[in-house]
């Protein structure tokens, strides 16, 4: 007897396949996401720190992502964790749809686990061509729509409501999780920076849903002789042409969406780099102006010092002139004194030798 897993109003059948029963047997930390979180918990302490920082960063709304990223990177650099700072700074800003998908994963872990399990079961049924189980599982495609609604509610509660186009991107991401193992692994990491696109050929994707639910397993037909290939240049049936045109349009649309997302990411990165450059230029201009003021003050002090030096030089020259004049006057006075002294002695000698009367 099948045991249903309750999925917010959608019943996910736990079928007889081994992969589904094994996944449902795991707890809330089971499945792809649980295994990834467990491996994260087994890392070193520093590793856990940066992993937790990145997990928190990717649940930050896109408008606040870049400032928060730079704040966290600066904190890691200040703490001496250069490699952690490099990893944080390299984190790419998520689109609104990618952020909503990350937020859904973190906020609704049980539903996320069951979506991952359903995708694993769908892919297994598709690989083994189990038409009966594939039909039963494909009927649960509405889970992606239900989770998209939950993601929209979470985004609205966070103050960032999703437009209809963004909701389509979220649902396309969840359909990709159902259809593709690599997409499931990326979403399970909780760090999407862009929305995912499901493969157009997988049952349950929007492209395949246009044709209705998968048909029941067709009755066996007798083996037929291999037919010769159609002649070269023959026109394919109209139905095949329409399907091919629809597939090509879907591929072009997916490429255009991806190019637009990448362009938006690059624009955000360039804006962030420009803001950082402008801030650096502002700081450099302030330092230059301060240095210019210091140079002007120093030049003014130098001019005053040169003027003082010139004044001191003139005073020294005048003093030297006065000193020379005083020396000359002293020398003349000394000569005059000596001459007067000689004259006095001469007169004294003459007076002493004159005969008496």
Per residue in 49-67, pLDDT (tens digit) is 899 999 999 999 999 999 9
Which of the listed ranges 8-12, 96-100, 271-275, 343-347 does the model predict with the highest average pLDDT?
Answer: 96-100
DSSP, residue by residue, 154-208: HHHHTT-PPPHHHHHHHHHHHHHHHH-HHHHHHHHTT--SS-----TTSTTSHHH
Q: Are 85 and 73 in contact (CB under 8 A)?
A: yes
Q: What is the pLDDT of residue 171?
A: 92
Nearest CA to 190 out of 62, 54, 73, 61 is that of 54
**Lowest-confidence pick of 85-89, 213-217, 300-304, 348-352:** 213-217
pLDDT in tens, 266-296: 676 677 667 777 777 888 898 899 899 999 9
Q: Can you tell me the mean pLDDT for 227-236?
A: 52
**Residue that wins the pLDDT comparison between 333 and 136:** 333
The answer to whether the Cα torsion of 332, 335, 341, 344 is positive or negative is negative
Q: Name the 3-class secondary structure at 14.
A: strand
Q: Is the pLDDT of residue 250 over 80?
A: no
CA distances from 39 to 35, 90, 186, 189 (A): 6, 22, 15, 11
Residue 241 structure tokens: 């042409």
* pLDDT class of 87 with cuts at 50, 70, 90: very high
Burial class (CB in 10 A: 0-12, 13-18, 19+), 148: buried
Q: Is the pLDDT of residue 182 over 50?
A: yes
Half-sphere exposure of 98 (CA within 13 A, CB side): 27
CB atoms within 10 A of CB 23: 22
Q: CA 103 to CA 195: how far, in whole Å?
A: 13
């Amino acid at each position: 007897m099948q045991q249903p897993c309750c999925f917010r109003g959608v019943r996910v059948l736990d079928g007889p396949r081994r992969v589904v029963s094994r996944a449902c047997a795991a707890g809330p930390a089971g499945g792809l996401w649980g295994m990834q979180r467990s491996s994260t918990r087994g890392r070193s302490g520093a590793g856990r720190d940066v992993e937790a920082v990145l997990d928190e960063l990717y649940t930050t709304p896109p408008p606040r992502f870049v400032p928060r990223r730079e704040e966290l990177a600066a904190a890691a650099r200040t703490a001496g964790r250069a490699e952690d700072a490099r990893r944080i700074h390299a984190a790419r800003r998520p689109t609104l749809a990618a952020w909503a998908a990350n937020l859904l994963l973190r906020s609704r872990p049980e539903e996320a686990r069951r979506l991952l399990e359903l995708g694993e079961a769908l892919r297994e049924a598709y690989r083994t061509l189990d038409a009966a189980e594939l039909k039963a599982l494909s009927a649960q495609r509405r889970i992606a729509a239900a989770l998209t609604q939950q993601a929209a509610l979470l985004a609205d509660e966070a103050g960032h409501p999703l437009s209809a186009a963004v909701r389509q991107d979220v649902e396309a991401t969840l359909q990709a999780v159902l259809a593709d193992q690599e997409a499931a692994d990326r979403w399970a990491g909780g760090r999407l920076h862009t929305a995912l696109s499901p493969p157009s050929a997988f049952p349950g994707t929007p492209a395949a849903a246009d044709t209705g639910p998968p048909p029941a397993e067709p009755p066996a037909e007798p083996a037929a002789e291999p037919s010769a290939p159609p002649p070269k240049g023959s026109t394919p049936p109209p139905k095949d042409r329409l399907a091919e045109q629809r597939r090509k349009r879907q591929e072009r649309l997916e490429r255009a969406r991806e190019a637009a997302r990448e362009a938006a990411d690059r624009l955000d990165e360039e804006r962030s780099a420009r803001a950082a450059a402008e801030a650096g230029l502002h700081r450099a201009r302030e330092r230059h102006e301060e240095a210019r003021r210091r140079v002007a003050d120093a030049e003014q002090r130098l001019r005053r010092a040169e003027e003082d030096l010139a004044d001191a030089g003139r005073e020294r020259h005048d003093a030297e002139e006065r000193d020379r004049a005083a020396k000359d006057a002293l020398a003349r006075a000394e000569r005059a004194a000596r001459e007067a002294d000689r004259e006095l002695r001469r007169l004294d000698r003459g007076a002493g030798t004159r005969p008496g009367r």
